[in-house]
């Protein structure tokens, strides 16, 4: 009987020792040092270009740098003449490369306005993250 009590006490003390070494496992999300997902989008001011001999107004919206688990996946850039009641002209790019818009007809002395929106997919529960840039203007 003494052997049974000694064996049980030995198993019990070994189990307690093992629990002391194992400890609980946990992950604290607030201690995660990864940055919040975001992208910087660079919008250009309207400028003049020649396309097949025609003077046009252009603007670009480019992604990067991006932080966190985000993948830039859509850029929309627009140009319009200031005071114009329409939306002007917009270009869309569904890849992580710059979107560029061309606006015509060019009217000398007019102020043109560029705006842009860039979005990226976040590989967490947050979904898409978008940022609006502009307006930027230039009298051309």
Please say if the pLDDT value at position 12 is more than 70: no
DSSP string, the chain: -HHHHHHHHHHHHHHHHHHHHH------GGG--PPPPEEEEEEPPPEEEEETTEEEEEEEEEEEEEESSEEEEEEEEEEEETT-SS--EEEEE-SSS-EEEEE-S--TT-EEEEEEEEEEEESSTT-EEEEEEEEEEEE-
pLDDT at 125: 57
Q: What is the CA radius of gyration of the chain?
A: 30
Domain chopping of the chain, boundaries: 35-139
More confident residue, 75 or 28: 75
Please say if the pLDDT value at position 104 is more than 60: yes
pLDDT at 71: 85
pLDDT digits (tens, 9 = 90+) for 63-85: 988 887 788 889 999 999 998 88
- Choose the weakest-confidence range: 6-15, 33-42, 114-123: 6-15
Q: What is the pTM of this model?
A: 0.71
Reply yes or no on domain 35-139 having CATH 2.60.40.
Answer: yes
């Amino acid at each position: 009987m003494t052997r049974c009590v000694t064996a049980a006490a030995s198993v019990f003390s070994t189990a307690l020792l093992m629990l002391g070494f194992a400890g609980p496992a946990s992950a604290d999300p607030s201690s995660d040092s990864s940055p919040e997902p975001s992208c910087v989008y660079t919008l250009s001011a309207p400028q003049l270009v020649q396309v097949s001999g025609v003077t046009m107004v252009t603007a670009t919206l480019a992604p990067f740098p991006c932080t966190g688990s985000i993948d830039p996946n859509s850029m929309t850039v627009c140009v319009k003449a200031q005071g114009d009641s329409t939306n002007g002209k917009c270009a869309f790019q569904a890849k992580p490369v710059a979107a560029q818009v061309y606006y015509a007809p060019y009217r000398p002395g007019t102020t043109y306005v560029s705006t842009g929106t860039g979005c990226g997919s976040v590989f967490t529960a947050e979904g898409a993250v978008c940022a609006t840039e502009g307006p930027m203007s230039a009298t051309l």
